[in-house]
Structure 1
Amino acid sequence: MARDTLPENTSPENTSPENADPENASPKSAGPENSRPENAGAVLRSALTRWDTALLVVLAAVVVVAGLAVDGFATGRNAQFLLLDVVAIALIALPLTLIVITGEIDLSVASTLGLCSAVMGQLWVAGLPLELIVVLVVLLGAVLGAVNAVFVTRFALPSLAVTIGTLAAYRGLAFVVLGDQAVADFPADWTAAASSTVAGGGVPWAVVVALALAVVFGVVLHATPFGRSLYAMGNNAEAAAFAGIRVARAKSWLFVVSGAVSGLAGVYWTLRFASARADNAAGLELAVVAAVLLGGVSIFGGRGTLLGVLAGVLLLGAVRNALQLADVAADTLDVVTGGLLIASVVVPNAVTLGRARLRRGRRRPT
């Protein structure tokens, strides 16, 4: 099952199955043998073979198998813990999805989270109210994202190299700010709120906030001219610029938003675990990137959906949660995450290549 391949300067929502596949002609251009039911069948087949649809099927299968094979997986309490575990990944993955669609990447997100957590702890020790600290930490994240934006857009440096550098720099600054100590005396009502549920049910408030932000990012990406311009940048940045799209400006804002959301994730992480530490979320960038690519976003840009990314976040979280309950070692979990990351890149491209060869074989004259 392959991801949809987008033509240049288009987004998934603007690419119908008939336009994407030359073999699927529209009723007007096709002969009388192409009736409406057949067109409906083509649309249905296209929907069923989309990457995000396939990912939802795989997610359901993993949940069923884990529920039957792993003790404690199919419980409400474990489901709540699973959702709380993926909140930080989901938050950071939202802006990162938009960044990767433009053909860029931000690997400094976990270090931004860690630095924001360390600053949060230091400001609390200094006696500032938490309401003000939360605002300052989110603003700090935006500033850190702006630093990435300056290097990538103003100096035209590769985002991969820039964010690897800031990954190390921000984590180092976190240790400069807080050292090896931990701040853990946050108010109990704040730490409890990070894990509290809606009306005492099983859905955490943090998940509701993450879903609300997902709706906002989804609307921006899939239902606005700005979102369509991101796909155009990912397909061909030069052509997008010639078309009047302010590529540098758009990418700059994406990095700023990525930093701000990472700062917000730092607040959540600190309060959920009731501990501000410089090494908070170390290595989380691997899980975030894996979730985004597993969700169907092309590492080369120009392709992907937010629904697929959310499915990727849940699939990655479910697999890791099931393995943890099965007492699998933490190092093995990293191996699994890395394997899913590689598979998310290799499998769709291999299937796409196979389909392309099959189509060429069908078009050869007999």
Structure 2
Amino acid sequence: MIRISIDAMGGDHGPEIILHGLDNVAQRRTDVRFLIFGREDAVAPVLRKYPRVAAISDFTHCEVSVRMDDKPSQALRHGRWKSSMWKSIEAVKAGDADVCVSAGNTGALMAMSKFCLRTMAAIERPAIAAIWPTAKSESIVLDVGATIGADAHQLIDFAILGSAMARALFQVDRPTVGLLNVGVEEVKGQEDVREAGRLLREADLTSMRYHGFVEGDDIGRGTVDVVVTEGFAGNIALKTAEGTARQIGEYLRAAMSRTLMAKVGYLFARNAFQRLREKMDVRKINGGVFLGLNGIVVKSHGGTDDEGFAAAVELGYDMARNNLIDKIRADIDAFHAAMPAGRAGRQADGEPTDL
């Protein structure tokens, strides 16, 4: 049984979308149980509408809900111990839940997760990893907004975290990993990126195959299973890709309704357009996984619908089912065995960007 704690007060639409999403999950997964945290006056009336969810859930009333515009520091001061966000994370720390899912304030969720769960030993900064649809299948891109900037050793951390996630999600024994750069030549790019590439080549880890540098167009091609970058570039790439997918969808809808012949042509090609729509549906890849913490936390888009939230919950389910945390710890140990010199840790500064 996979136990998932839910911050029912997060997101732009409140408990209605979240509980509807849980109902979608309950229809597809028979081995799941929910721990739902939120204000009773807001959650209880909606929960009664979804008896399937109520039957497999434990509800805990929380006096406080973190607002989408709260600063992380404010959320920590006023939301600790009492908020639905904190309680859902704390359930993971206490071992009552295997994974936490929230559609709430990204900065507050990251700050609370770091404070409550702490980063794993030898991991300097956590990362947010996103699933990326590609021409081949899917890949993982990280970091997409947890922290801005990264040195060589932090990029290596991200490579280790991402490859462990790829093994857990894609069932690949040795996923390919690439460092996002302005060119594939070894002489190009920032010094930290080149140094990270050198160290990954020297380590020659059995948990991954280091591919080398990749460029922006390699992400969509699916050149590698894991694309590693720092949070500023990763977040811009993510938002650009999502915006482009919506833009193309709008172009297609407008083109197909412009003339009678276009409408007739659409009828003949309807199945092909349906497959394209499914491939470009950003809801199906909703959910960023916070990696590098002593527990699994998944951040859903705040504005998603019920199917998008269900996708984020099922992503967390897959990470817990496939023992993501154990895989990460094993990969960290393997890297340090290959590179015994060690390194000095530095704390991250700056707040996470919003997904």
Fold shared per TM-score above 0.5: no
What is the TM-score of this pair, normalised by structure 1?
0.25
Radius of gyration: which is bigger? 1
| Greater fraction of residues in strand | 2
> Which structure is richer in relative contact order (CA contacts within 8 A, separation 6 or more)?
1
What is the TM-score of this pair, normalised by structure 2?
0.26
